[in-house]
Amino acid sequence: MAIADVFSRSSTTTGPGAAVTPLSAFGERPAREGEHVEALYAWVDEIAALTTPDRVHWVGGSRLENEALLREMVDEGRLIKLNPEWRPGSYLARSHPGDVARTEGRTYIASEREEDAGPTNNWVAPDEMRATLTPLFAGSMRGRTMYVVPFSMGTVGGPLSHIGVQITDSAYAVASIGIMTRVGVDVIDQIAAGKPWVKTVHTVGAPLAPGEQDVAWPCNDEKYIVHYPDTLEVWSFGSGYGGNAILAKKCFALRIASVIGRDEGWLAEHMLLIRVISPEGKKYHIAAAFPSACGKTNLAMLRPTIPGWRVETLGDDISWIRPGDDGRLWAINPEAGFFGVAPGTGESTNVTAVETLWGNTIFTNVALRPDGDVWWEGLTDETPAELTDWEGNPWTPASGRPAAHPNSRFTVSAGQCPQIADDWEAPEGVPLDAILFGGRRATNVPLVVEATDWSHGVFIGSNISSERTAAAEGTVGELRRDPFAMLPFCGYNMADYFAHWLRVGKALHVSKRPRVFQVNWFRKGSDGRFLWPGFGDNSRVIEWIVRRLEGAVDAVDAPIGRLPRIEDLNLEGIDVPQQDLEELFAVDPESWLHEADLTEQFYSTFEGKVPPRLYAELEALRYRLKRAQQA
């Protein structure tokens, strides 16, 4: 049984009088034979010789093992067990204040050739980086347990799945990997059978001298997260937080997987995945790429406000997309859990997420209530009178600081989501009907626009951006580019990534390609207020997209793509003034021509590697805009 399976149950706690099994009762190396598994064992021995842990624990993935691991962390002060009356089987972790987020500035792509990393990644030559990391890893696990965690992204043995092994000295990372992936000895059976696997090595970088007292959250001021795409490895040093320590997530599932996908002809994407069911019972599958703070989780767990429509969640963050034998694109969510940002997640914004967190959840850096439950900004409309903040200090509304860290997190099994699709773990995945791109744009970008074809859709995806909203973040209105919402996560040159998208689409029959749309829930009027209600009412945009797929509604040709006729939007039950609706779809040629110039500047950073097809799309856009100016 995978550790993640434990968290789909009502509780991970044992009943009164139940036998308590210590963690030391587990951890033996699985007895397997053959050259492939012997290579795994030799690698583990090599890392142990380098890092010199006190002991090596092979994670088997059983329920009892996981309970013992959690119990040990509570006993050592690494986790706080929450009140089981309010949050059964759940725990709170508090990180070091200097270890609270992804460390993008210390994230590297160590490809053999610098041009393969491209200008949007930090590149270091592999030999140079290994020379830097080897002394850091030497003895880094002294005084600690080295855990060996075999995991699968996607169901074990599935046709779209990939496997890996993480070595780590963080029990918190082990528990988190157990929720986010499928962990167990059956993964080692896959390795023994010759299936390729990704090597990931992680240490908090805090060795212990004999008799030295440990801290609740060990870490190191020096941090590295290094990807070796040519040898399919990830090495992470110094951080115990999030994607820096859960290497199956952004490191494997996006940066390394994007390279594997490039070489094998598929796509590893920072995309949610949902099934939309119409009142007629027809099912449509949509993947959507949004940068952070653009409504991604809300759309993944959308509850439509229009009668008869339903949305089932398949994934909230990552999609692996492959061409199928039938000529369509098929997608899976390779993860087994949700690793979501807590602040802003509440009953008024995402009731589905709140219901998912009823129990069996690891919370990190949220506030603690006096009754032993958790709280964060946005969870409830009413703020508690007193709390213990994410650093363990007393807090009241008058404290003048957030109670929960802005990047505080929850880690929970996807199986607990009340609207998770029954077949969300189907190995073959689901066929994609549409792909959405979105950013946070106060101006210019309409509520929804349909691409004219696949190449135009790739052009839209390559230009996804959000506008800076405060002078402290830069010039107000300045565009922050995040192509395909993959800027921090593409493991190779993004210009080559654009070309790969074009190749994947070209290999599909025109009639079987997913339709591509751009959405923008955040357009504002001249008075600064949002023009669209958002949240559950975004289902009205999804309905129009589905009706376009069905051929039930027409669209209006505009210089930037195809726009809805306002009368085709289902606005029953909401009050959006006609003037606001017109502004939501207004296309100003002059502003768009300026944006085209910014696109050309952005493309120029790739030093001539952007595919000619995208430059042709840019010039066609300019031509249409100039004609609209003259009309």
Q: What is the tens place of the pLDDT at every residue in 216-230?
A: 999 999 999 999 999
Stated as kind and residue range, the H or E segment containing 537 is none
| Beta bridge pairs of residue 315 | 273
Residues 6+ apart with CB under 8 A from 447: 519, 520, 521, 523, 531, 532, 541, 584, 585
3-state class (DSSP) for residue 539: helix
Residue-level pLDDT at 3: 35
Helices (H), ranges, 475-536:
494-506
Q: Which of 65-79, 168-182, 457-471 is predicted with the least confidence, judged by mean pLDDT?
A: 457-471
> Is 490 a catalytic site residue?
no
The first and second tokens of residue 525, run together, are 């009027």
- Co-location of 521 and 547 in the same domain: yes
- DSSP states of 368-407 as a string? E-TTS-EE-TTS-SSPPS-EE-TTS-EE-GGGSS-SS-TT
What average pLDDT does this structure show over 47-51? 98
- Domain of 482, CATH number, reads 3.90.228.20
Q: Extract the tokens encoding 477.
A: 């209105």
Whether residues 47 and 57 share a domain: the answer is yes
Using 50, 70 and 90 to split pLDDT, how confident is the model at 468? low
Q: Give me the pLDDT at residue 520, please.
A: 97
237: left (phi over 0), alpha (psi -120 to 50) or beta: beta
Residue at 343 is within a domain: yes
- In 10 A of CB 372, how many CB atoms? 16
221 and 235 housed in the same domain: yes
Classify residue 538: in a domain, yes or no.
Answer: yes
* Claim to verify: residue 254 and residue 127 sit in the same structural domain: yes
Residues 6+ apart with CB under 8 A from 616: none
Identify the bridge partners of residue 344 per DSSP, sorted by sequence position: none
Give the DSSP per-residue string, 301-316. T---SSTT-EEEEEES
Q: Are residues 318 and 350 in the same domain?
A: no
Residue at which a domain ends, from 206, 234, 264: 264
83 three-state secondary structure: coil
* Per-residue pLDDT band at 293 (split at 50, 70, 90): confident
CATH of residue 375: 2.170.8.10
Model confidence over 364-407: pLDDT tens digits?
Answer: 999 999 999 999 999 999 999 999 999 999 999 999 999 999 99
Q: Are residues 350 and 401 in the same domain?
A: yes
Enclosing H/E stretch for 62? none
Q: Are residues 390 and 435 in the same domain?
A: no
The CATH code of the domain that includes 219 is 3.40.449.10
Average pLDDT over residues 267-272: 98
Are 363 and 317 found together in one domain? Answer: no
Among residues 230, 248, 264, the one where a domain terminates is: 264
End-of-domain residue from the set 397, 416, 435: 416
Amino acid 8: pLDDT: 34
- For 139-176, write each residue's pLDDT tens digit: 999 999 999 999 999 999 999 999 999 999 999 999 99
Residues 233-262, mean pLDDT to the nearest whole number: 97
Q: Which helix (H) or strand (E) holds 84?
A: none
Q: Is residue 89 part of a domain?
A: no
Q: What is the pLDDT of residue 472?
A: 32
> Domain for residue 455, yes or no?
yes
> Of the ranges 5-14, 259-268, 290-299, 582-591, which one carries the lowest mean pLDDT score?
5-14
Count how many domains the chain has.
3
Dihedrals phi, psi of 178, to nearest 5 degrees = -65, -25
Q: Are residues 582 and 544 in the same domain?
A: yes
- 306 and 409 belong to one structural domain: no
Please provide residue 368's backbone torsions phi and psi, each rounded to the nearest 5 degrees: -115, 130
Catalytic residue among 219, 251, 294, 417, which? 294
Average pLDDT over residues 222-246: 97
Range of the domain at 57: 3-76+102-264
Indicate whether 203 pLDDT > 80: yes
Strand intervals (E) in 241-335 = 267-269, 272-277, 283-289, 310-315, 319-323, 329-332
Share of the chain above pLDDT 90, in %: 92
Confidence of residue 612 (pLDDT cuts 50, 70, 90): very high
Residue 278 lies in a domain: yes
Residues 325 and 444 in one domain: yes
pLDDT at 271 over 50: yes
Helix (H) or strand (E) run with residue 183 in it: strand 182-183
What pLDDT is stored for residue 294 in this prediction?
85
CA 489 – CA 484 distance, rounded (Å): 10
Predicted pLDDT at 14: 43
Answer yes or no: is 85 within a domain: no
- Asked if pLDDT for residue 66 goes beyond 90, the answer is yes
pLDDT, position 529: 94
**pLDDT for 218:** 98
Work out the average pLDDT over 597-613: 96
Asked whether residue 82 is domain-assigned, the answer is no
Q: Measured between alpha carbons, how far is 587 from 267 in angstroms, rounded to an integer?
A: 32
Mean pLDDT of the chain: 94
For the record, the structure tokens of 180 come out as 């986010």
Task: Evaluate if residue 17 carries a pLDDT over 90.
Answer: no
Average pLDDT over residues 280-309: 94
Instruction: Please tell me the pTM assigned to this model.
Output: 0.94
User: How many CA atoms does the CB half-sphere of 252 hold within 13 Å?
Assistant: 29
Does residue 64 register a pLDDT over 60? Answer: yes
Encode pLDDT of 469-487 as tens digits.
Answer: 443 334 556 788 999 999 9
Q: How many CB atoms lie within 10 A of CB 176?
A: 27
Q: Identify the residue whose tokens are 């027809």.
A: 282
Both 234 and 377 in a single domain? no
- Reported as a single tens digit per residue, the pLDDT across 323-355 is 999 999 999 999 999 999 999 999 888 999 999
Q: Is residue 164 part of a domain?
A: yes
